[in-house]
């Protein structure tokens, strides 16, 4: 079970590859994903594979389902999509206000992208970057380098990267390509019934520390997607 957050000076952020809301039972059930989100207790969530595959890539997790549950959506996609390249950022509660957002193109053979949103939070200004990196190692490394370069060009702000990094190794193979970011120790999140691969990662920039972090495995997360969501309780450094 994921512990409840009790310190008002902390903020829980989560990342979840929802596999277009298609579970391991091959049923597309957006409200089951919503159940998992409720169990996470996060105020900000970065999603991957949040849109259907074919153009115009409509949202797999419909806006109205999220709105009914009190979630707000960063308008990064348009034309009915929830995000951009399947990456979306949602949040809820009255402690968070969206200040800015944008898209980031990533190098590689596959069409990949990242998204960013800047928030006013109890921790102060916070930049969240949601990513879904490529399947080929050399391009993942280039994509991490590119994200690091883009982050360095933006206004200085406490920054968190979160998403599906598609990296199986538990060794710090990506860390060296983003020296200003600290990757949290990876924990297995894939495949959801019996996770062995730490594909989903979170990295923190200066000004942020992780009070706690983990993998959410409470039902129905074991069947709602092929990934389990990961989470971190953020605190100011």
Distance, CA of 87 to CA of 106 (rounded, Å): 13
- How many residues would you count in the chain? 237
Q: Are 120 and 158 in contact (CB under 8 A)?
A: no
Ordered alpha helix ranges (H), 2-134: 30-40, 63-68
Is the domain spanning 12-189+197-236 CATH 3.30.70.1060? The answer is no
What is the residue extent of each domain of the chain? 12-189+197-236
Separation of alpha carbons 103 and 140, rounded Å? 18
User: What pLDDT sits at residue 110?
Assistant: 87
What pLDDT was estimated at residue 5? 84
State residue 150's pLDDT score: 97
What pLDDT, on a 0 to 100 scale, did the predictor assign at position 203? 98
- The reported pLDDT for the residue numbered 55 is 76
Residue 212's pLDDT is 97
Q: Which residues of the chain have pLDDT under 50?
A: none
User: Contact, 44 vs 74, CB < 8 A?
Assistant: no
What are the pLDDT digits (tens) for 147-160?
Answer: 999 999 999 999 99
Give the pLDDT confidence of 85-132 residue by residue, as tens digits: 999 999 999 999 999 999 999 998 888 999 999 999 999 999 999 999
């Amino acid at each position: 079970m994921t512990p409840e957050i009790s310190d008002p000076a902390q903020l829980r952020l989560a990342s979840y590859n929802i596999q277009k809301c298609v579970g391991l039972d091959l049923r597309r059930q957006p409200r089951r994903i919503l159940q998992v989100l409720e169990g996470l207790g996060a105020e900000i969530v970065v999603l991957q594979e949040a849109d259907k595959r074919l153009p115009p890539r409509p949202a797999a997790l419909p806006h109205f389902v999220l709105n009914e549950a009190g979630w707000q959506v960063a308008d990064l996609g348009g034309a009915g999509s929830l995000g951009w390249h399947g990456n979306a950022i949602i949040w809820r509660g009255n402690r968070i206000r969206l200040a800015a957002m944008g898209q980031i193109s990533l190098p590689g053979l596959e069409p990949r992208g990242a998204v960013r949103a800047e928030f006013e939070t109890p921790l102060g200004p916070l930049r969240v970057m949601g990513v879904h990196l490529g399947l080929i190692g050399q391009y993942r490394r280039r994509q991490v380098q590119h994200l690091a370069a883009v982050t360095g060009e933006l206004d200085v702000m406490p920054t968190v990267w979160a998403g599906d990094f598609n990296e199986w190794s538990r060794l710090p193979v990506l860390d060296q390509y983003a020296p200003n970011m600290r990757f949290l120790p990876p924990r297995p999140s894939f495949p959801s019934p019996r996770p062995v691969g730490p594909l989903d990662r979170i990295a923190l920039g200066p000004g942020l520390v992780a009070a706690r972090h983990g993998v959410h495995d409470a039902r129905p997360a074991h069947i709602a997607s092929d990934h389990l969501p990961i989470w971190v309780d953020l605190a100011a450094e």
